[in-house]
Structure 1
Amino acid sequence: MSLIHKVAVMICVLNFHYCQKCVNEKVRPLPAFDNVEVREYVLWEVSSGKLVCLGKCFHDVRCHSFQTLGSSGRCTGHATAFASPDKIYSPTLASPGTRMYLLPRASDFVGSACTSDGDCSLEHTYCNDGACNCQAGIMFSVGRSACVTDCTKWGYDAVRYFDRSIGGYNDDHVSGVTEAACRQLCLNSSTFTCTSCDYKDNQCFLSSATFLSVPESSRDLGTSYAHYQRTCL
């Protein structure tokens, strides 16, 4: 047997042992995400096929879903479940052949589809516009896979709450922008640590406060604003 063949056999053996516990993992495909690349809650990106990607996600306790990116030979692991493309708030990309899969531990987790609060099992989560999310003012931590209040390192994603807003406590105000641009302005802010933003009628209000860090009198419910809250690392 040539050296190349020996190396190939060794790689196959290592791959088998690496994922021998996960080959029977009942991953669930999400057909609604076919041909759609999602860039939210990305933990890592590797060059590999479905089986190796499944193994990496299975052994990473933070990982709850993964997607294989068409013919590129790449895959990404994600920290949450996903409900449907219309619950994705950062722009998705057309990507022929891309497929999304959920691990069993993604069931009832942050991001999973829901119709009532009882469908969401993680502590401090509720059904927010058809997807399980942390309660407003309590941040989802990618590293801890939990809803937390003690965030010291802010993440690169933001969750949308349609019926909430913060009265006052604005650190910046930008007019004439889209909702997606408002969300991105908060994530990219360099003049202060933006942790939430409110959007309505092309008006964007950026804030270093969170829904629970302000007095109860400033927590507006039932508004027509879109409220975004950053995640935590």
Structure 2
Amino acid sequence: MDISFFRCMLNLLLPLLWILFRSYTCEIISDKASVRQNFVNKNDTYRRLWSVEKFAATICVMECVRDTECASVLYNKVTKVCQAHSVTLGNPFVAFDEPDTQYFVRSFGEHYIGDSCVTATDCWTINTECRQGLCQCIPGYSFSPKTQECKVCDQYDDKNFMTITDHYITGENMEMFSSVTLEDCKRLCLTRTAYLCVTFEFLYPGTCALQKVTVLDFPHKWTTSAGVDETLYSQRDCA
């Protein structure tokens, strides 16, 4: 058979295959994730899970769907970088500009941890509240990307913390350090070997206190500094 016939058939079939592929992948986006406008041409590395190159936004979303911890993805149409996050990015004002970036949120990521909110009813994840305009775990509960909830942990993450401002637990410090940075305080908590550091408190400009308890252990010792001193209470995520 003439090879030109095969070329002709190939030229006819390729556009059809491309249309079918685009229809299929677009259906995946519409069913599994939606486009968000708040992070168009923006980027933020907060709770980034991974970053890989993918040749299309639809393939980027499919990669996220395969990861049970992935709630949202940023995709750059020029660099082809696909960046996954374990939370929904709800505050574009802390992000940096990145042209040609699109943002997609999976269905379970709607009203999820990190999403913008006005009241507690805007936050649909179990044991969450609206705090500082974002959906976050209520005091004493830790975020679990694996089970997509806020809960009491069986095991703790080795990197991430969720923070509450102007609150602390009185009288339960295991260790205290002075003249340290916030990052130093976090590192000190993560590297304790004599005990499991679950929470830390940081009092500006440089005081760090480490604890092995949460507010759920001592709710009567949960104290507000009422904004007099800037205190941060940070609790580890679940593994």
The TM-score bracket by the shorter chain reads 0.7 to 0.9
Cα deviation for residue 124 of structure 1 reads 0.9
- 1:73 is aligned to 80
In 2: Cα distance, 1:173 partner to 1:70 partner: 47
Aligned to 2:236: 230
Task: Answer with 1 or 2: which has the greater Rg.
Answer: 2
Q: Which amino acid aligns with 1:57?
A: C
Aligned twin of 1:43: 49
Of 166, 175, 198 in structure 1, the residue corresponding to residue 201 of structure 2 is: 198
Q: How far does the alpha carbon of each residue in 1:151-172 deviate from its partner, in whole angstroms, 9 at most, with x for none?
A: 3132421111113211122222
The residue type paired with residue 189 of structure 1 is: T
1:102 Cα deviation after fit:
2.2
Query: How many residue pairs get matched?
Result: 220
Task: Give the Cα separation in 1 of the matches to 2:97 and 2:154.
Answer: 33
1:53 partner SS: helix
Match in the other structure for 1:167: 170
Match of 2:3 in 1: none
Give the counterpart of 2:61 among 36, 54, 57.
Answer: 54
Of the three residues 6, 20, 30, the one matched with 1:24 is 30
- Counterpart secondary structure, 1:54: helix
Amino acid in the other structure paired with 2:36: P
- 1:1-233 matches, cutoff 5 A: 19=25, 21-25=27-31, 27-32=34-39, 34-40=41-47, 42-48=48-54, 49-68=56-75, 71-85=78-92, 97-186=100-189, 188-191=190-193, 192-202=195-205, 203-213=207-217, 215-224=218-227, 225-233=231-239
- Show structure 1 runs of 4+ deviating over 6 A: 11-18
Write out per-residue CA displacement over residues 174-198 of structure 1, whole angstroms, 9 at most, x where no aligned residue. Answer: 2223335434443x42434322111
- Give 2:178's aligned amino acid: S
Farther-moved stretch of structure 1 (65-74 vs 166-175): 65-74
Q: Deviations over 1:60-93 (max 9, x none)?
A: 343211112575433122221121156x7xxx77
1:135 CA displacement:
1.0
How far the C-alpha of 1:19 sits from its partner, in A, is 4.0
Task: Tell whether the 8 Å contact from 1:33 to 1:84 is kept in structure 2 after alignment.
Answer: no
Identity within the alignment, %: 21
Distance (whole Å) between structure 2 residues aligned to residue 96 and residue 189 of structure 1? 38
Aligned equivalents of 2:123, 2:130: Cα separation in 1: 7
Report the secondary structure of 2:30's partner residue.
coil
**Using a 3 Å threshold, how does the CA distance of structure 1 residues 150 and 130 change in structure 2: closer, same or farther?**
same
Q: TM-score when scaled to structure 2?
A: 0.75
**Deviations for 1:199-228, whole angstroms, at most 9, x for unmatched residues?**
122211122222212x23322135442111
Gaps of at least 5 residues in structure 2 are: 1-5
Whether contact under 8 Å (1:111, 1:133) holds in the other structure is yes
144 and 13 in structure 1: CA distance in 2 versus 1, 3 angstrom threshold: farther
